[in-house]
Amino acid sequence: MSSKVYEALFQDIDRHMDEYMGELCDFLRIPGVSTYPDGRENMEKAAEWILEKLRTLGFEGGLRQTEGWPIVMAEHTYRPGAPRLLIYGHYDVQPEMPVEEWISPPFEPTIRDGAVYARGANDDKGQVYTYLKALESYRRVYGEIPLNILFVIEGEEEIGSKSLLRLMREQPELMQADIFLMSDSSMLSK
């Protein structure tokens, strides 16, 4: 496809960039550190934050409670038989230690040289959020998303994904998809 096809989409993203950055910063302020046993409130808050954004986009789903942290599972159904895209990500983050090595507070997002610095900005809250906002802009510009899409966003990636792996073994049919997109990776370029 030519770049002109995407021109309206990129213009929409640019028009909403301040709003998107504000929301991303709100998300990054939630200290969802999966290794903290007393972090239940923050972990659930992060999972609920994502679920609410997905519901706003018309996705249906909920939080799947586990022995560990909740798994966000929400789906957009375009039509039966359409390709199903599974988007995987995680909302948990590494501990902020050692705090003294942070130039700015780890859970207070700071923008320097056009980049957002906060715990989770690059692993993996930022990537998950990017998909949400890309879909929001797509719907605003082009209308219905022509795919069935399932988001599976877990809270235990930083500690081994035990609950997700258990769910995949016990109910593999939940995550069957034609296309798999993993957001837990670096970007090659802006």
**Catalytic (active site) residue 7:** no
Q: Which DSSP string corresponds to 105-164?
A: -TTS-EEETTEEESTTTTTTHHHHHHHHHHHHHHHHHH-S-SSEEEEEEES-GGGT-HHH
| Phi and psi at residue 103, to the nearest 5° | -75, -35
Catalytic position from the list 12, 92, 123, 136: 92
Q: How far does Cα 76 stand from its chain's mean position?
A: 15
**Catalytic (active site) residue 157:** yes
Catalytic position from the list 123, 154, 157, 158: 157
Indicate which residues carry an active-site annotation. 92, 157
